[in-house]
């Protein structure tokens, strides 16, 4: 009889442990569902499910935050460093466009100014155009931008472009697919080598060849380069004797990258590993 009582006590104890374990598992499941935003209250069946509190997102220290919002593509309209007006066609073009958002006072940007001035610059992609975008004349030094801007790369001074594209830092790069008018790659970096790698990856992700071949401007020499420059000017509506060809004039240029010009090579980026590189949005160190 004693043995039977002991056995019964053991069975009851095991059942108690099992029930406690099931209750704890059930509580863990309910807690997990609640954290996922699933409301099991029958009185709240009509309320939308989902996370009710914002999810914290943090980047690694030294890496700039991405843009706070995704934007569409916009043509870039603004002033030139010589006081004229200019436009870079981005939407609906047959090519990709790399917009490089730089500042004249940003130390990290200096490497990119120098790189873009190199006529032998080799860039990923076979049909990409480059345009440099700074803040508007009210927030930038005209003389500094004039001294830094490459002669054959469109440089636009436009506050609206920084606002339209919600640019968070400088330097910052956006690769835009003209036919679809969408941003296909973006990011910040501290060196041109990093940008090349990022842009190549962005192009590869889209199934676009990132051959790294030289641009027509880089391949041409002597009279060929002069001929390419003449074609680019004619395509932009600038003919011999045009006031915009003379430094003392205040030209009203209308530069559209849809022309098959030698104005600019380019590339793209998705998300940058730019430890300590990019500067805050705007001019200054």
Q: Contact, 100 vs 162, CB < 8 A? A: no
Kindly tell me if the per-residue pLDDT of 113 is higher than 70. Answer: yes
pLDDT-derived band at 41 (thresholds 50, 70, 90) equals: low
At 138-155, the pLDDT tens digits run: 999 999 999 999 988 999
Tell me how many domains the chain contains. Answer: 1
| Contact yes or no for 145/137 (Cβ under 8 A) | no
Mean pLDDT of 232-252: 63
**Over residues 92-119, mean pLDDT:** 91
Is 85 within the bounds of a domain?
A: yes
> Is the per-residue pLDDT at 3 higher than 80?
yes
Using CA atoms, how far residue 156 sits from 18, 100, 252, in Å, is: 72, 10, 13
Region of 278 please: left (phi>0), alpha (psi -120 to 50) or beta: beta
Q: Which residues contact 274 (CB under 8 A, 6 or more apart)?
A: 62, 63, 64, 187, 188, 189, 190, 194
Rounded CA gap, 125 and 68, in Å?
27
**Can you give the residue range of the structural domain that contains 264?**
76-221+228-239+250-280
In this structure, how many other beta carbons lie within 10 angstroms of the beta carbon of residue 227? 12
State how far the Cα of 224 lies from the Cα of 228, in Å rounded to an integer: 6
Mention every residue, 6+ apart, whose C-beta is less than 8 A from residue 51.
36, 37
Are 119 and 153 in contact by the 8 Å Cβ rule? The answer is: no
Tell whether 12 is covered by a domain: no
Q: What are phi and psi of 169, to 5 degrees?
A: -145, 170
pTM of the model: 0.54
pLDDT on residue 2? 86
How remote is the C-alpha of 227 from its chain's centroid? 33
pLDDT reported for residue 33: 67
Q: Is residue 60 part of a domain?
A: no
215 belongs to a structural domain: yes
How high is the mean pLDDT of the chain?
A: 73
pLDDT at position 268, please?
38
Whether 257 maps to a domain, the answer reads yes
Identify the pLDDT of residue 17.
82
- Domain of residue 90, CATH code: 3.40.30.10
User: Residue 138: inside a domain, yes or no?
Assistant: yes
The pLDDT score that the predictor gives to residue 75 is: 94
Strand partners, 121: none
Specify if 13 maps to a domain.
no
CB neighbours of 223 closer than 8 A, spacing ≥ 6? none
Express as a percent the part of the chain with pLDDT over 70.
60
Does a structural domain hold residue 53? no
- pLDDT at residue number 16: 85
């Amino acid at each position: 009889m004693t043995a039977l009582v002991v056995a019964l006590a053991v069975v009851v104890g095991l059942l108690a442990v099992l029930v406690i374990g099931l209750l704890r598992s059930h509580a863990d499941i309910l807690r997990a569902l609640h954290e996922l935003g699933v409301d099991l209250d029958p009185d709240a069946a009509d309320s939308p499910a989902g996370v009710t509190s914002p999810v914290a997102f943090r980047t690694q220290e030294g890496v700039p935050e991405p843009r706070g919002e995704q934007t569409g593509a916009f043509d870039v309209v603004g002033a030139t460093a010589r006081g004229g007006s200019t436009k870079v066609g981005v939407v609906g073009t047959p090519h990709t466009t790399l917009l490089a958002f730089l500042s004249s006072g940003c130390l990290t940007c200096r490497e990119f100014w120098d790189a873009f001035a190199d006529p032998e610059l080799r860039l990923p992609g076979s049909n990409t155009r480059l345009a440099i975008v700074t803040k508007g004349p009210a927030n930038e030094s005209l003389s500094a931008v004039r001294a830094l801007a490459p002669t054959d790369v469109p440089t636009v001074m436009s506050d609206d472009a920084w606002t339209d594209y919600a640019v968070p830092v400088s330097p910052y790069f956006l690769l835009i697919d003209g036919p679809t008018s969408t941003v296909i790659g973006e990011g910040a970096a501290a060196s041109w080598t990093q940008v090349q790698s990022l842009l190549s990856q962005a192009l590869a992700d889209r199934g676009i060849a990132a051959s790294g071949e030289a641009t027509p401007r880089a391949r041409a020499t002597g009279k060929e380069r002069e001929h390419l420059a003449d074609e680019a000017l004619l395509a932009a509506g600038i003919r011999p004797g045009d006031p915009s060809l003379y430094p003392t004039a205040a030209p009203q240029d209308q530069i559209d990258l849809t022309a098959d010009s030698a104005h600019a090579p380019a590339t793209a980026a998705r998300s940058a590993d730019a430890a300590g590189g990019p500067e805050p949005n705007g001019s200054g160190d």
